[in-house]
Each structure stands twice: as C-alpha cells, then as structure tokens.
A = this chain, B = another copy of it.
Amino acid sequence: MKEKNSVGIVKSSLFYSSNHLDLESGIRLDSYELMYETYGSLNKKKNNAILVCHALSGNHHVAGRYSKEDKYPGWWDNLVGPGKPLDTNKFFVIGVNNLGGSDGSSGPKSINPKTKKIWGSSFPIITVQDWVTSQNELITYLGINKLAGVLGGSLGGMQALQWSIQYPEKLANSIVIAAAPNLTAQNIAFNEVARQSILTDPDFNNGNFYTTKKLPKRGLRIARMLGHITYLSNDVMGSKFGRKKINKNKNHQYSFNTEFEIESYLNYQGDKFANEFDANTYIRMTKALDYYDPAKSNVKNLSKVLKKAKANFLVISFSSDWRFSSERSKEIVKGLLDNNIKVSYAELSAVSGHDAFLMEDEHYHGIIKSYFQKVHKQL
C-alpha cells in the first residue's frame, strides 16, 4: 500500500569536499564528507531549494523510508512530502547530516584521511558557523546559488538564524522554530550534566571507545533521560504519566526497580538511544549549542548582528517550551524588527513543551504551509 503524501523510498548520497575547511577552532579539515538526502526536484531556475537543518540527535534522513519494511520514516516526515506543509511537489528539499555527526558525515566515528585511523576523540569540536560553512559547500555543489529557505527547530533553528547572518545574499527565507539566539546558564547546565555523565563513564575511555568493545552506554543513557525531561513540559508529563505506576494493582514495591510510568518511559528512551547514538557526537553537539552566540551574550548586539540579514523570517515558539522559551524567540524577533526585516512570528499554545516542534498540529503546520505557499509564489 502506498503511503499517503510520502516522499516514498529514499536514498542517501555522499558529498565529498576536496576543499579544505578552516574551522572556528583554528583546526583545518583538509577534506570532509557530508551525507545528505534530497526530496522533490530542483527547478530550472534552481531557486526552489529548502535546506532542513537537524537538531541534537537528528540527521539527514528528514523524510521517507529506506525500504518498504522500514519501520520508521525520517524524523520530520509529518512536515515534508508531496502536499505536506513543506511541499516536495513545489520545493527541492535537502537534509544533511552535520559535520561531527555519526550517520555518514565526517565525524568522530569516521576515518581521518591523514592517519587512516578512526578520528575518535581527535575529531575537532564543530560550531554552528562551521556547519553553515560546510552546508554552503554542499548547496554550491548541488548547483544552488541561493536557497529559497533554511528551516530548522531547536539547534536546527540556530543554523537557520546563522545562515541569514553568514550568507545573507544566499538566503531568501529563514524559518526559525523553538530556538534561541544563545543558551541560558540553565541550558548550559543541563548540557554539562549530560556531558559529564558521558565523560566520566569508564567505558568512554577518553572518547576512544571504537576499538574497545565497550561503548559508554551508561553515560549516554543518563544524558538522554535527562534530555527527555527538558523536551517535555511539566504539564504534559503530568497528564501523560502523572503518578501512574506500571503495575496498577500493586502497592509500592519498595525497591529501586522501575515502578512509575515516567520512570519506565525515561529508561526506555535512554536504553534505545544508548544503543543507537554516538557518544562523541553527542558531546560535540551539546558544545555547538553552548557556543552559539552571534550577539556575544549581548541582547542589544543582536540587532547589530542581524543588520546583515536579507532574508524574510518566520519565527515560531511554543508556550510550554521551557528549554527555549518564547521570550528567547522574541529576542530574535526584536532584533529583526529593529532592522525592519520582514518577520512573521507565532507563539503557539502547545502543551507538549520543546518537543512540540516535531509534532503534527493543524495550527502549527498550517502556519508553515501558508508561509511556504507564499515563498513559492514569489519564486
């Protein structure tokens, strides 16, 4: 049976850049690879391309499935497809695994071409700016001079923002969802606890665990459990899990085994992630988040920085998101308005918290759909 509005069966491609990349850290990558996927077709004018940037644990597989048997579609499949809010009948959509990732792009798990050995801990720390630089290489390779838009949520939204500052001439629209112009102390604090749980896991072995047979699953598991607390609102946790127990008929079990449903949920999410994700990538992604700060921690400065931007903006935040609250999105909007940049802003009343950006919601998706319809008309 054909899935409705799906991009269908998809394949990933590998982009090899023989151009070197000078990273913000001062380290030079002589060459690098980016794993990517595209959906829809690039039009003759080559002006209908939308880059979709991923967040902490995402990758290039935005939509579709790899086979008929594939259990799960891409991570933003509810948004991207023929007739969907980001309509692949109209747009050429690009998903890319960020540099430092672990799904095919150059990263800690891949081979260092110089040494012919796994990078491991020696893979440099990458920043949002570095990602945007490398993404620009990819779109240039794909023959695109100017993107119709960059779209992202959370850390992906930071990339969409950075695109508008770093390559103002190459971007027509920036869609920044559930993001912030930098992290707060509390945001950094959560990232640091997650990192410390990985760094102090004995099996982490200073990041060189690929040759040993032990993966730092304990640390990654704790990091992910903690992450999930911050992705959900207090309210939605209450209504979904509350104080419910996995065994309803029982009294307290008086042990440290899983007992409440919320515990069961977190342990499941932690175990799953620890078996799938790369610990070296995880700690690098959190560091990219911590470092991102185009206005150098000065809200007023954001207006100055955004003076360069030439794109139109759609900014969306969610009322129950306590990781990146609406106030943080409003800082971006304020910076744009100070420069008379065209911006649509929606603060949506969602119950789910930060995770709302990944969920299918009529109002939310309606706003994105109508924005992209407008973008398409202007091509």
A interface residues, Cβ below 8 angstroms from B = 24-27, 124-125, 127, 182-186, 188-190, 192-193, 195-197, 199-202, 218, 221-222, 225-226, 228-229, 232, 234, 237-238, 240-243, 252, 254-256, 259-263, 266-267, 270, 283, 287, 290-291, 293, 297, 322
Contact = CB atoms under 8 A, between A and B. Distances in A.
Given A25-B252, A184-B238, 18 more contacts: A125-B255, A127-B252, A183-B243, A185-B242, A185-B243, A185-B260, A185-B262, A186-B234, A189-B225, A189-B263, A192-B263, A193-B225, A193-B226, A200-B221, A222-B222, A226-B226, A242-B297, A260-B290
Contact of A222 (B125, B193, B202, B293): B193
A185 B261 CA distance: 9
A197 B197 contact: yes
A312 to B, nearest CB: 29
19 contacts: A24-B254, A25-B254, A184-B234, A184-B242, A185-B237, A185-B240, A186-B229, A188-B260, A188-B262, A189-B225, A189-B237, A189-B262, A192-B225, A192-B263, A192-B267, A199-B256, A200-B221, A234-B322, A260-B290
Interface centre among A192, A201, A226 (most CB of B within 10 A): A192
A193 B196 CA distance: 14
Contacts of A27: 254
Contacts of A199: 256
A256 B219 CA distance: 15
Contacts of A270: 196
A188 B244 CA distance: 11
A36 B116 CA distance: 64
B24 A252 contact: yes
A221 B237 contact: no
Contacts of A190: 229
B182 A196 contact: no
Closest 5 CB pairs of A and B: A25-B254, A185-B237, A185-B241, A185-B262, A243-B297
Contact of A291 (B124, B218, B252, B297): B252
Contacts of A192: 225, 260, 262-263, 266-267
B124 A254 contact: yes
A297 B221 CA distance: 29
A125 B184 contact: no
A129 to B, nearest CB: 11
Contacts of A256: 195, 199, 283, 287
Nearest to A198: B256
A228 B190 CA distance: 10
Contacts of A283: 256
A241 to B, nearest CB: 4
A291 B252 CA distance: 7
Nearest to A296: B243
Nearest to A183: B243
Nearest to A23: B254
Contact of A202 (B185, B202, B241): B202
Given A196-B270, A256-B287, A293 B189 contact: no
Contacts of A183: 243
A298 to B, nearest CB: 10
A319 to B, nearest CB: 16
Contacts of A243: 182-185, 188, 293, 297
A41 to B, nearest CB: 40
